[in-house]
Structures are given as C-alpha cells and as structure tokens.
C-alpha cells in the first residue's frame, strides 16, 4: 500500500495511517488502531505534530465571491500564473463549492512586491490560502498578495518531506534542500 501524503485526494473510509504513527485530527477518525478519512478532501500530514487531517470538500453551495478566502492545492506552475484546485472556502468548510473549482494566481497577484520567477513562489502540491479577486471568471482569479495569504504547507520537491520554515526560506529536514515560496505568515501552524 502506498503511503498517504500531503495533497492526496481521499474519500470517506480511505485508510490514512495507523495510530502508532499518527493522531487523527480534523476530517479523520480512528477505528481499531487505524486512522481513516471521514470526508472527501485533501490530506494534510504534519510530521512535526504527528497529526493527520483531511480538508473536507462536501456537497452544497455557496458560490464564491470577491474577498472570500479559499484554501487549495497548486496544480501547475507556469511563467505567468499558477493553477489552483480550490478545496475549501474558509469559514464554510462544511459546504462544497459549486463548479468550477479551478482558480488561477497571476504573476502580478502573487506578492505585494514584484515577482520575477513563478517557480520560486509555488510548486505543484503546495497548499495555499488565497483571496478571491474575481469569481465570475473561469478559472476564478485569486491573489496571495498579503501577509496572511500564500503557501501554508509545502513539501520538498526532491523527497516530498514537509519543508520547515527558516526565516524567509524553507529547508527540508530530511535532505537539506533549500526552497522558496510565497509564504503565508502562519506557514504550517495548522490553520486553514
Ligand atoms: Zn528533501
């Protein structure tokens, strides 16, 4: 069985880990020493706190509107933009979003400062908190320009270990790899 990792998409009843390895957190439950997903969503494995949780994505509106905060996963990074799979509308984690679920962050909306290299801001698999700029476009236009928005969980692009913050950089505790992201100020503190 493949080991579950941050960013994996799961459905209710999917096996996540054993209780010897992890503690079930939001969106997960324990049964006979095994941890399963209680909802449909994206897995967050925190190797530091040993918590495993699932960001849920369940049925029912509301529609997105300008100013909403969403949490999603970076799917693709291009020169001018990054594509985001929107998983959760913050504050309404109990409701599924109406389709489309795809968002995009344009290079001009990544940071309050000028951004040259998109690949130093995001990588596929990163979990980001972003603000909706325009929900009437498809994909939805998002921004991470602000202290409280940006990447909240990122894994090493070499070995997939969750990266640890070191000032403005990220370092892999396993292989020592040094990486950069547009970070939210509360990177890996467990909040959506
Ligand atoms: Zn690594």
pLDDT digit string, tens, across residues 69-83: 999 999 999 999 999
From edge to edge, which strands make up the β-sheet containing 169-171? 164-166, 169-171, 178-179
Domain co-membership, 74 together with 34:
no
Could you tell me the pTM of the whole model? Answer: 0.68
**Residue 135: Cβ within 10 Å count:** 19
pLDDT > 60? residue 100: no
Q: What is the distance in A from the centroid of ligand 1 to the CA of 1?
A: 22
Asked if the model's pLDDT at residue 127 lies above 80, the reply is yes
Q: Is the pLDDT of residue 87 over 60?
A: yes
Gap from CA of 3 to ligand 1 centroid (Å): 16
Centroid of ligand 1 to alpha carbon of 25 (angstroms): 25
pLDDT digits (tens, 9 = 90+) for 50-73: 999 988 754 434 578 889 899 999
CA 17 to centroid of ligand 1, rounded, Å:
21
Q: Are residues 16 and 64 in the same domain?
A: no
Q: Let me know whether 79 and 153 are in one domain.
A: yes
Distance 7 CA to ligand 1 centre (A): 16
Q: Is the pLDDT of residue 2 over 70?
A: no
SS3 107: helix
Range of the domain at 152: 59-192
């Amino acid at each position: 069985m493949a080991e579950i990792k941050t960013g994996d998409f799961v459905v209710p009843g999917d096996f996540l880990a054993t209780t010897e390895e992890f503690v079930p957190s939001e969106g997960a439950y324990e049964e006979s020493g095994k941890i399963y997903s209680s909802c449909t969503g994206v897995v967050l494995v925190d190797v530091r706190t040993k918590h495993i949780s699932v960001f849920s994505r369940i049925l029912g509106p509301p529609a997105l509107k300008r100013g909403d905060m969403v949490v999603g996963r970076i799917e693709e990074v291009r020169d001018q933009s990054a594509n985001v799979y929107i998983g959760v509308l913050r504050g309404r984690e109990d409701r599924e979003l109406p389709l489309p679920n795809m968002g995009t962050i344009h290079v001009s909306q990544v940071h309050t400062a000028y951004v040259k290299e998109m690949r130093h801001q995001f990588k596929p698999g990163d979990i980001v908190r972003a603000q909706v700029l325009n929900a009437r476009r498809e994909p939805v236009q998002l921004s991470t320009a602000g202290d409280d928005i940006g990447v909240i969980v990122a894994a090493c692009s070499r070995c997939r270990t969750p990266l640890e913050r070191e000032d403005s950089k990220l370092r892999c505790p396993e292989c020592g790899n040094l990486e950069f992201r547009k970070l939210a100020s509360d990177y890996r503190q467990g909040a959506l």
